[in-house]
Amino acid sequence: MGKHSHRSQWAFYRSVLGWAFPWLIVSAMVAVGIWLAVDALGNDDIETPVVAEKSESAAPSAEAPSKSPRPDPSPSPSPSPPAPEPSTTPEAEVELITENMSVQVLNGTADAAADDRMANQLGELGFEVVAIQGASRSYGLTTVLWSYTESQEAAERLAQRFGWQVEPKPENLSTSVALHVVVGADY
């Protein structure tokens, strides 16, 4: 011990450490918890994992959360123009681009089998369907969403052939597939 310290002071220091140390640990754990929560909430670049087959259960799995199209939370400055009526005539003879075009089918209808029928139809046309999932909301019209510029023309041709809507994908959908076909009530 030092020249100016007294043995009775160590009891005081031990009692202060005995009180402060647990609170320092609790504070550190709370800080780490807050940091992880903020990181998880602010992580916008999470992509949807590619699923090879449609799950048999209707409930979403805890292992692979579904990221489906969601309505844009910002209000639109002007109402969207009325959608074109789906064609009741036979399919237009539009040459489709199917090479290297992977597709995710999203069911935006109340019909549980609509996504399977769409996946089969797209597969017969030559598209590679890599995922089938439910959409986060209902869609009135079937919509083809393209992930990147190289897949835009394929999306436009597919939409033109069947009289569907076409637009770029929202940010919450994966870029690991070229096209997202959201089955609407018109299908």
Is residue 130 within 8 A of residue 50, CB to CB? The reply is yes
Share of the chain above pLDDT 90, in %: 44
The torsion angles phi and psi of 151, rounded to 5 degrees, stand at: -100, 0
On the CB side of 112, CA atoms within 13 Å amount to: 6
Which pLDDT score, from 0 to 100, does residue 39 have? 75
- pLDDT above 90 (res 157): yes
Among residues 132, 133, 186, which one has the least CA distance to residue 164?
186
Residues in the chain: 187
Q: Rounded to whole angstroms, how far apart are CA atoms 58 and 107?
A: 12
pLDDT digits (tens, 9 = 90+) for 65-78: 444 454 444 444 44
Average pLDDT, the chain: 77
Which pLDDT score, from 0 to 100, does residue 58 have? 41
Q: Rounded to whole angstroms, how far apart are CA atoms 110 and 98?
A: 28
Tokens representing residue 139 in the block: 């869609």
Locus of tokens 């959608």: 83
User: Region 122-136: what's the mean pLDDT?
Assistant: 93
Minimum mean pLDDT among 5-9, 36-40, 125-129: which range?
A: 5-9
Is residue 169 within 8 A of residue 141, CB to CB? The reply is no
pLDDT digits (tens, 9 = 90+) for 11-61: 777 888 888 888 889 999 999 888 887 777 765 444 444 444 444 444 444
Is residue 143 within 8 A of residue 80, CB to CB? The reply is no
